[in-house]
Amino acid sequence: MSDAATSQRPRILVTRAVFPEVVAKLERHFEVESNPDDADWSRDELIARLQGRQGAFTTGSVKVDEALLAACPDLRICANMAVGYNNFDIDAMTRHGVVATNTPDVLTETTADFGFALLMATARRLTESEHYLRRGEWKKWSYDMFAGADIHGATLGILGMGRIGQGIARRGALGFGMKVIYHNRSRLPADVEAELGARYVGKDELLAQADHLVLVLPYSASSHHAIGAAELARMKPTATLVNLARGGIVDDAALAEALRARTIAAAGLDVFEGEPSVHPALLTVPNVVLTPHIASASIPTRRAMADLAADNLISFLEGRGALTPVQPNPSPADTGAAR
């Protein structure tokens, strides 16, 4: 390719380390600056590196807000390698004419698998018992040693019934004969409820009836601390809580206290308020299973997420429109290439 053609190619920033093959694909289309060592760039460094760039490949840890957008006037698209996009200020992006994309669908089944793994590990006290064995404390069998709650036949409550919630409902109903109840902003069509064997209930009934409550709702100002002290107090003392969604949906301090006081039996958490920091009280209670935000982390799924984020950049910046835009109806003609 001639120097002239090369210099006309859109310029993008890959803000975090990602599969080299995906970076190589991007390099076939764009002038790319990548971050193979996964350096922790400060905000100022990030903004400096975004100067003159039309696209950014981001992950959930990269905050795109009014201040960044105002400082990066060439930016046309941010492609998040995540289905969640609470790191984006969507209103500000829309005001600045910047398209936001995410990675729906490709991670649904993998994340639902992990939700079930976390639910089972929590209810059946898997990590607590493994730590006991590793500490060399297992000297003899006893009738109630690490006895937990059953999954099969229990009532599975789901808060947030999007694609991942439905995947978990399907696993519970079809695989484990669970009774599924759910609460969501909008009720599912009757045929989908029937296929999932799921019954819509109010939030208070969900809290009171669930033996196992799984959170899969998106984070927003309105879902901040959707599960706090009052909600935990409505749950059964034998109940387990699983948070697969986002930190901030659960009040982690209130949860740690409920676990310490055993007003609920156990929790499984893949996400935390202020992660990667974890509320110190959660680290001191035994009845919690803690994982570092890995629900979508199977190798094929992470690769599919990275490919979809890259394909969004390619399609948009080459004038064909974003593949999975977050904002409604971004114009395919409104491309970085066209500006």
Active site residues: 246, 275, 293
The span of 39-47, 77-85, 234-242, 273-281 binding ligand DGY (CB under 6 A) equals 77-85
User: Whole-angstrom Cα distance, residue 42 to residue 304?
Assistant: 28
Is 250 in contact with 279 (CB distance < 8 Å)? no
At a CB cut-off of 8 Å and minimum separation 6, what does 278 contact? 252, 272, 290
Residue 82 interacting with ligand DGY (CB under 6 A): yes
Q: Which is nearer to ligand DGY, 296 or 324 (CB)?
A: 296
The span of 14-22, 76-84, 185-193, 223-231 binding ligand DGY (CB under 6 A) equals 76-84
The least CB distance from residue 305 to ligand DGY, in Å, is 7
**Residue 167 to residues 91, 107, 108, 170, 180: CA-CA distances in angstroms?**
30, 11, 7, 5, 12
Residue 104 interacting with ligand DGY (CB under 6 A): no
In terms of Cβ atoms closer than 10 Å to its own Cβ (0-12, 13-18, 19+), residue 77 is buried
Q: Which is nearer to ligand DGY, 60 or 115 (CB)?
A: 60
Q: Which is nearer to ligand DGY, 83 or 282 (CB)?
A: 83
The least CB distance from residue 82 to ligand DGY, in Å, is 3
Q: Are strands 99-101 and 77-80 parallel, antiparallel or unpaired?
A: parallel
User: Which of 46, 107, 180, 188 is in the footprint of ligand DGY by CB under 6 A?
Assistant: 107
The least CB distance from residue 323 to ligand DGY, in Å, is 16
Residue 78 interacting with ligand DGY (CB under 6 A): no
Amino acid at 87: N
Sheet arrangement for strand 31-33: 31-33, 11-14, 55-58, 77-80, 99-101
First-residue to last-residue Cα distance in the chain: 22
The least CB distance from residue 338 to ligand DGY, in Å, is 29
User: Whole-angstrom Cα distance, residue 12 to residue 10?
Assistant: 7
Residue 84 interacting with ligand DGY (CB under 6 A): yes
The span of 62-70, 80-88, 126-134, 322-330 binding ligand DGY (CB under 6 A) equals 80-88
Q: Which is nearer to ligand DGY, 51 or 220 (CB)?
A: 220
Residue 296 interacting with ligand DGY (CB under 6 A): yes
The least CB distance from residue 83 to ligand DGY, in Å, is 4
Token pair of 224, please? 């901040």
Q: Which is nearer to ligand DGY, 60 or 325 (CB)?
A: 60
Q: Indicate the length of the chain as a whole number.
A: 339
Q: Which is nearer to ligand DGY, 60 or 165 (CB)?
A: 60
User: Whole-angstrom Cα distance, residue 265 to residue 234?
Assistant: 13
The span of 81-89, 187-195, 231-239, 320-328 binding ligand DGY (CB under 6 A) equals 81-89
Residue 289 interacting with ligand DGY (CB under 6 A): no
User: Which of 75, 83, 213, 214 is in the footprint of ligand DGY by CB under 6 A?
Assistant: 83
Residue 207 CB coordination number (10 Å): 23
Give the CA angle between residues 137, 142, 144 to the nearest 5°: 105
What is the contact mask toward ligand DGY in residues 49 to 68, using x (rule: CB under 6 A)?
A: -----------x--------
User: Whole-angstrom Cα distance, residue 294 to residue 304?
Assistant: 15
Query: Residues in the site for ligand DGY, rule: CB under 6 A?
Result: 60, 82-84, 107, 296
